[in-house]
Structure 1
């Protein structure tokens, strides 16, 4: 091969290699983007042979479906959100199957939509989360879901100390369940506030109850009662295109706000950073859980994660993992925590032991 041909060969090889790297980068980045999608399962109550309540001749199953589809359409405008429907047409779906759809989709949020009825002329919108009576059933489902760990290769090494059938490991699941309840109450409050403030509906408050469909899920979940079909005026509104669009809009808006809160960590209070002249000590941690239960920070309580740190904040406890002075290492810890099942985990920053925002931390760097 002469010198000219050699140079052409090298140039062509470099070009090919460059294109391969670009293609790989695009595939890899798209894969990362897909991993970041927040999965919302929308459950339109009733369907098919089950019409739901038919107050004043209106069909609950039709109204619930139209509102669910409307919410989904608005959520799908966001690239970071993936929407899954338990039903997207007029078909009958078993209650247990609705929760199973959410569990199989590894959903981050489950929203079930219904219309209410009463023998009186009651009216107004309400939102429900799982009551205490349903926690035992919910915990058993979580236990079954975690039993799949035993089918994984090398699970003894990956989840050292974690036995999904042991009482000790159930403590960790109880903590996760408590955190799910806190998140359920948060999204329910956002939805209910929109109903009362923006739609001017009678506020029937956020309540806890033992709904079967909520007992079947193992993630933050809410059940919405849009209003009473047995009330003629409210029934007409719920059955109208205007009413359905209004409810779809306010529910979608609340869900987007809830997801944004999780992203920017505004659910947690950030203290003012004292202005001192001493050397700055910056530290990043991954918050994997929080709750009122004081759990021993042992690896078997946290799905094999080691060196978990427990911090008391008021009457609650926060559990952190992967403390590091480097954001890059914290991101690696976050990915591992999410692979272990802590899908709502996020990174927090501390300056000299005081919590600050990630933006403040990046400015310090």
Structure 2
């Protein structure tokens, strides 16, 4: 484990008690045991940035850290850095009610706690930040720092996911498209592999072929939040070149700027 990862994990542990709680987004939702409460309206008719309650979720946890990058760094560290930057960027642009959601614990149990906290905070928008990998069958091996490591340079790019089971699916899709357009304007391209048969059970329906928005109904944080919800895979950390880009301040600033631009557009249109 790298020194930078240890530092991030330590910061996350300090933040956890004062923020929220947990989850590994890659787990699918289980059978529902009770009917969902009647959702409230996602947003007021007039959008005031300072009052818009945005939850920026750090995907995964220190205990359930998600994918490993091509250089053996846990996804959680990438997610934490980028989500923190996005939250700070939104606050600096007038979205004062933005909150960073850092969670702890194991994967599945913490998912439902995460949704519960987001719902109880009466969020208007929920944005979950992740970094991508590929199915195990597509991985190749190489040696990094004297250790056997895994990579896949075949695919790269970001992707956006929404759930049709979300009570505010139309709003979720609109926000995802806005983020996708802003990323495209930054010169970034989306990951197109989710439409391919080689992805197997990870294959998804492409809802917007121009900006890379996919439908993924099985994600707990998308389907069970009572606010509009979008999951952003900001780039592929299993791709050796893109992993280095995702670690660069320039790429992180570009993604954070795209999200902030999308939120400004979103609010202006309300």
The alignment's TM-score, normalised by the length of structure 2, stands at: 0.62
| 1:68 is aligned to 2:75 | no
Cα drift, residue 40 of structure 1:
0.1
| 1:47 is aligned to 2:47 | no
Aligned match of 1:208? 215
Aligned match of 2:74? 59
Give the SS at the match of 1:106.
coil
Aligned match of 1:227? 235
How large is the Cα RMSD of the aligned pairs?
Answer: 2.2
Cα drift, residue 108 of structure 1:
0.6
Q: Distance in 2 between matches of 1:261 and 1:203?
A: 28
1:238-317, aligned counterparts within 5 Å?
238-262=246-270
Query: Gaps spanning 5+ residues in structure 2: where?
Result: 1-47, 139-151, 193-211
Q: Distance in 2 between matches of 1:36 and 1:62?
A: 28
Aligned match of 1:123? 156
Q: Which has the bigger relative contact order, CA under 8 A and spacing at least 6? A: 2
Number of residue pairs matched by the alignment: 182
Give the SS at the match of 1:95.
helix
Assess if the C-alpha contact under 8 Å between 2:57 and 2:127 holds in 1. Answer: yes
Query: Gaps spanning 5+ residues in structure 1: where?
Result: 1-33, 139-176, 263-365
Q: Distance in 2 between matches of 1:65 and 1:216?
A: 23
Q: Distance in 2 between matches of 1:80 and 1:71?
A: 11
The alignment's TM-score, normalised by the length of structure 1, stands at: 0.47
Give the SS at the match of 1:247.
helix
Give the SS at the match of 1:227.
strand
1:105-184, aligned counterparts within 5 Å?
105-118=121-134, 119=138, 120=152, 121-131=154-164, 135=165, 177=167, 180-184=168-172
Of 191-200 and 67-76, more deviation after overlay is shown by 191-200
**Rg larger for:** 1
Aligned match of 2:7? none
Of 64-73 and 191-200, more deviation after overlay is shown by 191-200
Comparing both structures, which one devotes a greater share of its residues to helix? Answer: 1
